[in-house]
């Protein structure tokens, strides 16, 4: 068995504690060798107040995983790549497409791995949905991604600030699945974005896409959902219907065996990162970010009631 890879996890917030740390602790391919956080690290793991300090003190750590908000991520990723470290990016991989292209070029020049991760693509039903759609003619596809921002981002002001993406923070998860499972790419043709009067980012969005075969493809994202949460993708084809639910974890379709299972998204991300590092390659797919950028460019803005916690 190959030696475990040492990783420094930057940003010890909710997503790190809920997903990254359990995934790393359960994987013999990885050793959580250090954390970088101003608000506290992980028991038994060396913590640093900032990334430059860690890079200087721990040249033995070859991988940096960035679980920080998108706006500060570029400078951190560039510093890690400049120090010769492999870099794993939480979604979205950056605040802008230009930043991501710059990081990709820098990583290629430095000969290190850059992995732009899309955790929802690792959900149990996604591969089955991709295979099922590949053999059929799509007629209609509808994405419904509605959740309660107070439940999933309690008190996190950065998501409402410029660069924080607002409802596209979860919505980009749906777009990452959409761009993975469709046999033919689509592009945005219409968008309506609802902005709270006191916020810089949208709380809801309606999207329509142009499909090369004329299929109707649309999405609705909303952060005001109370009660049951909805993360569904439904498709109609010339040979039956398909439904991905629970954020891609559950697959049901006519003529196909159902697929479902426990959450393994982040363990699969780290397994993929280990493969890329050992192979000396990178993986930077920006297709989901293109749709988000197009929505902000093309979208019609509607001002809705202010949002407060």
82, HSE (Cβ side, Cα atoms, 13 Å): 11
Task: Measure the CA angle with vertex 247, ends 253 and 232; round to 5°.
Answer: 55
| Structure confidence at residue 183 (pLDDT) | 97
The span from the first CA to the last CA of the chain, in angstroms, equals 49
Instruction: Choose, from 14, 91, 139, 146, the residue flagged as catalytic.
Output: 91
Token pair for 200: 């810089």
Ramachandran assignment for 77, one of left (phi > 0), alpha (psi -120 to 50 degrees), beta (any other): alpha
Quick one: pLDDT at residue 282? 98
C-alpha gyration radius of the chain: 20
pLDDT in tens, 67-86: 999 999 999 999 999 999 99
| Paired sense of beta strands 187-196 and 230-237, if any | unpaired
CA-closest candidate to residue 273, choices 8, 1, 101, 30: 30
- 68-73 long-range contacts (CB < 8 A, ≥24 apart) are 68/10, 68/11, 68/13, 69/11, 69/158, 69/159, 69/163, 69/164, 70/94, 70/95, 70/163, 70/164, 70/165, 71/95, 71/158, 71/161, 71/163, 71/164, 73/99
Distance CA 307, CA 309 (A): 7
- Would you call 65 exposed, middle or buried from its count of C-beta atoms within 10 A (0-12, 13-18, 19+)? buried
197 pLDDT band, cuts 50/70/90, is: very high
For residue 174, give both structure tokens.
Answer: 């749906």
Phi, psi dihedral angles at 47 (to 5 degrees): -115, 145
Q: Quick check: is 91 catalytic?
A: yes
pLDDT in tens, 147-186: 999 999 999 999 999 999 999 999 999 999 999 999 999 9
- CATH 3.40.50.150 at 5-116, yes or no: no
pLDDT-based confidence at residue 1 (cuts at 50, 70, 90): low
CATH number for the domain formed by residue range(s) 123-261+293-304: 3.30.360.10
Q: Coil, strand, or helix at residue 165?
A: coil
Grade residue 274 by pLDDT with cuts at 50, 70 and 90.
Answer: very high
Beta bridge partners of 5: 30
Compute how many other C-beta atoms are within 10 angstroms of the C-beta atom of residue 19.
Answer: 19
- pLDDT at res. 40: 83
pLDDT at 262 over 80: yes
pTM: 0.96
Q: What angle do CA 151, 156, 157 make, to 5 degrees?
A: 135
Per domain, the residue ranges of the chain are 5-116, 123-261+293-304
Q: What is the mean pLDDT of the chain?
A: 97
272 Cβ contact list (under 8 Å, min separation 6): 115, 117, 122, 283
Sheet holding 250-253, edge to edge: 250-253, 240-245, 230-237, 138-146, 216-222, 204-210, 187-196, 300-304
């Amino acid at each position: 068995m190959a030696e475990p890879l040492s990783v420094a996890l930057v940003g010890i917030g909710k997503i790190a504690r809920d997903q990254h740390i359990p995934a790393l602790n359960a994987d013999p391919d990885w050793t959580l060798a250090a954390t970088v956080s101003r608000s506290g690290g992980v028991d038994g793991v060396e913590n640093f107040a900032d990334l430059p300090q860690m890079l200087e003190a721990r040249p033995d750590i070859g991988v940096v995983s960035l679980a920080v908000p998108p706006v500060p991520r570029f400078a951190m990723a560039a510093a890690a790549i400049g120090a010769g470290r492999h870099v794993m990016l939480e979604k979205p991989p950056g605040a802008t497409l230009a930043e991501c292209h710059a990081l990709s070029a820098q990583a290629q020049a430095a000969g290190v791995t850059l992995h732009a991760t899309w955790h929802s693509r690792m959900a149990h039903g996604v591969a089955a949905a991709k295979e099922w759609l590949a053999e059929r003619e799509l007629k209609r596809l509808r994405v419904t991604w509605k959740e309660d921002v107070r439940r999933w981002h309690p008190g996190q002001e950065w998501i409402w600030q410029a660069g924080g993406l607002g409802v596209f923070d979860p919505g980009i998860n749906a777009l990452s699945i959409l761009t993975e499972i469709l046999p033919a790419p689509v592009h945005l043709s219409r968008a309506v974005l609802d902005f709270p009067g006191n916020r810089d980012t949208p709380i809801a969005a309606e999207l329509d896409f142009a499909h090369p075969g004329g299929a109707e493809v649309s999405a609705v994202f909303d952060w005001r959902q109370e009660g049951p949460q909805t993360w569904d993708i439904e498709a109609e084809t010339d040979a039956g219907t398909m439904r991905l639910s629970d954020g891609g974890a559950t697959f049901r379709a006519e003529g196909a065996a159902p697929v479902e299972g426990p959450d393994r998204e982040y363990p699969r991300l780290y397994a993929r990162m280990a493969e890329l590092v050992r192979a000396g390659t990178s993986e930077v797919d920006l297709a989901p970010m293109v749709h988000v950028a197009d929505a902000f460019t093309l979208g019609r803005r509607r001002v809705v009631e202010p949002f407060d916690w």
